Amino acid sequence: MAKKQTETRANKKTIIILIVTMIFAAVASCCIYIAADKLHPKDGPTSNSEDEHKDDKTPEESYSPSDGKTETPADDPKARMDEDEANKTVPEKDESGLNIARPEISFIATENDKIAIGGAIPNINEVEGNCTFVLTNGAQTVTETSGILPNPSYISCESVQIDKSRLSSGTWTIKIQYKSKTSEGESEPKTYTIQ
């Protein structure tokens, strides 16, 4: 009887060791798969990888133009740039012969006692021009002008920071006006509430 109990205990230990080994192998396989996927993603960065490096880029670097949509730094810029390259068109001209620029507000954020605003012009690619950020609330208007940051296929506006003390509380309408020697245009307005 003692021999049978010893064999039963040995069999139980063997079964437990096999189960633990299988669980360990499954967990290790999952970890290896995830690590390999992060090192060699098939369709660009994974959301986890992007979150880890989200703070490595400025909002302008994270912006990727769209067809009339506002992007945030959390969006996947590589995927948007690939899509934009496929849909790239020649800018339209206005009646005076200037290219029609289509600026977009890429972000509006509160940073301490300032409002930070950035934008881009996805349909224009040139090296000189200015972005004027126009904020209105009733009769009050605040403007800030910035230069541009040329990219391979579009232009980013240098972001501006406006002291909150210059803005009364309420809902503000914000737009970007772009002007250069060969292009001009204005964004669709966005609203932002100051508390």
> pLDDT by residue (tens digit) across 28-58?
665 566 655 555 444 444 434 344 444 444 5
The pTM of the full predicted model, rounded to 2 decimals, is 0.56
Task: Determine the number of helices (DSSP H) and then strands (DSSP E) in the chain.
Answer: 4, 10
Q: Which residue has the higher pLDDT, 191 or 84?
A: 191
d(CA 7, CA 116): 73
Highest mean pLDDT among 18-22, 123-127, 160-164 belongs to 160-164
What is the pLDDT, as a whole number, of residue 32? 67
pLDDT digits (tens, 9 = 90+) for 106-131: 999 998 899 999 999 999 889 999 99
pLDDT for position 67: 43
Q: Where is pLDDT greater, at 170 or 16?
A: 170
Q: What is the mean pLDDT of residues 51-69?
A: 46
* Cβ pair 137, 189 in contact under 8 A: no
